[in-house]
Structure 1
């Protein structure tokens, strides 16, 4: 009987210890993702200010989908360049701002970011704002936007 109690105590100890390890690893991975997202968001709109699509393209996974309002989703390796050209040439986007409200884990290698955005034209005037939901994916090139969905708060 004593052996069984010692065995059960040992099993419980290692189960609790490994659970703490898993929680710590999950927390560390989430903090890593939050840091990468903040860094990516900090330079995202530089692509429009500088007219440099490569900065924009590098924010996205190769199999990303950009799901803009009132249009079909743009998916695949060419999607970021397509969207950049549309936003830069047709809409006149020249700068912007992301305001992250939440980032939470969505399974191994994925996190979700929820927030607000603002868009500015060449004169620095705010011309649109809204909300976004981005599913980020951990890739061999770091954390990249995998599914980018957003909508305006304005009636156009």
Structure 2
């Protein structure tokens, strides 16, 4: 009986330590994603393709009211000619493997450069850990308001 209690205690402590490591790793990934989200609109507004540094080579956007937009060439075209905006993302949930792939659920608020609210909505991004760091692999977003 004593052996069973000792083994059970060891197993529980290993699981607890593993959960703590995962929480710390997930918090580190959260910080990376928050930093990436903070300058997302700035890169998109440049119109020079620098927004592509946020995405994997085989990334896809899933914008509302249109077909998926996949690959750097098409994603770059999607952002060209877009209006200049500011976007604030608020992460609601992150889950997944903090070593390979994370899913982000966020809300966004979009304003024009002067701060006038243009839109708000929700985002789901699948982040992939690449040799160049965490990149968006799938990016799905939609407004909280009916399409005009």
Q: What interval of TM-score do these two structures reach, taking the shorter chain for normalisation?
A: 0.7 to 0.9
Report SS of the residue matched to 1:93. coil
Q: Measure how far apart 1:94 and its partner are.
A: 3.2
Which of 37-46 and 58-67 deviates more?
A: 58-67
1:59-138 alignment to 2 at 5 Å? 59-85=54-80, 89=81, 91-103=82-94, 105-107=95-97, 109-121=100-112, 124-138=115-129
Taking structure 1 as the reference length, what is the TM-score of the superposition? 0.79
- Indicate if the aligned counterparts of 2:61 and 2:138 stay in contact, CA closer than 8 A: yes
Taking only aligned residues, the RMSD between alpha carbons, in angstroms, comes to 2.3
Tell me how far 1:66 sits from its aligned partner.
Answer: 0.6
CA displacement at 1:36 relative to structure 2: 0.5
1:19 maps to which of 12, 15, 32 = 15
How many positions carry a matched residue from both structures?
A: 146
For structure 2, the residue ranges without an aligned partner over 5 or more in a row are none
Cα pair 1:66 1:79 within 8 Å, conserved = no
